[in-house]
Chains A and B, each alone.
Chain A
Amino acid sequence: DAGVIQSPRHEVTEMGQEVTLRCKPISGHDYLFWYRQTMMRGLELLIYFNNNVPIDDSGMPEDRFSAKMPNASFSTLKIQPSEPRDSAVYFCASSRGQGEKLFFGSGTQLSVL
C-alpha cells in the first residue's frame, strides 16, 4: 500500500483565501484523523472520522475550519477564510481500528501570508 497520501505538500496563500487540504487514507482503515503541528502545542487533534462519520470535532479551532469525508478513500480539511495564525503543518492519519496505532501522511505545510 502507498500509505496515507496528502496533497498539496506545500500551500502558500494570502489571508482571507480559502484553503483545501486533501487526504487519502490507507485502504481498509476505518478511522481518519486530522492533526495540526505547532511548536507550542505539538500535534493537536482537530477532528476524526469513523467509517466516514465525524465522531469528534471538538479540536477544530473555529467555524472557519470544516472537514468532510464523502467516502472511505477521501477526506478534506477546509479553512475559509484563512488567517496567518493558521500557518502550521497539517497531518492526516488513519488507523485500522479503535485505539490502534496511527499511520501518518507526509503533511501539508501551510503558510498564510
Chain B
Amino acid sequence: DQQVKQNSPSLSVQEGRISILNCDYTNSMFDYFLWYKKYPAEGPTFLISISSIKDKNEDGRFTVFLNKSAKHLSLHIVPSQPGDSAVYFCAASALDTGNQFYFGTGTSLTVIP
C-alpha cells in the first residue's frame, strides 16, 4: 500500500509562473519530509526538506508547506524556469519505520518557455 501519494503524474507551467506540486501521506507518524528532483538518466537529487515541527521551509525559489492535519505537503517553485523541468518525488520517514524513506510515484513537471 502506497503510504506516500502523488496524484498528479504530470504538470505543465509557463515560465515565470508558479509551479505547485502536491503530495499526500497516510502515516500520521511521519515526521520528516523531503523533495527530490530527477532529470532523465540521472539519479534523484535532494532539493528541500521539512520536519513536522515546522509548517514551512524556504530555500530560494523553492518553498515546501506542510499541513499535518490534512497529511498534505506541497512544493512551490516561484518563478518557474525551464531548467526546473524534471520529475519531482516527495518522500517521508518516521522513527517508527526505522527512518526508512517512503517515496511517492513522482510528478513530471514541464516548464514551457
What's the tally of chain A residues with a CB closer than 8 Å to chain B? Answer: 24
Report yes or no: A45 in contact with B101, Cβ–Cβ below 8 A. Answer: yes
Please tell me which one of the listed residues A43, A98, A101 contacts residue B89 in the complex, with CB atoms under 8 A apart: A43
Contacts between the two chains (Cβ within 8 Å), count:
56
> Is A12 in the interface zone, CB < 8 Å from B?
no
Contact, CB under 8 Å: B102 / A45 = yes
Considering only CB atoms, which chain B residue lies closest to A4 in the complex? B43
By a CB distance below 8 angstroms, the chain A residues around B36 are: 104
Known contacts: A43-B89, A45-B100. The answer to whether A91 contacts B44 by CB under 8 A is yes
Residue ranges of B at the interface with A (Cβ–Cβ < 8 Å): 2, 4, 6, 32, 34, 36, 41-46, 49, 89, 91, 93, 95, 98-106
A-B CB contact pairs (8 Å), 22 listed: A4-B43, A35-B103, A42-B104, A42-B105, A42-B106, A43-B103, A45-B100, A45-B102, A91-B43, A93-B43, A98-B98, A99-B99, A101-B46, A101-B49, A102-B44, A102-B101, A103-B46, A104-B36, A104-B43, A104-B44, A104-B45, A107-B42
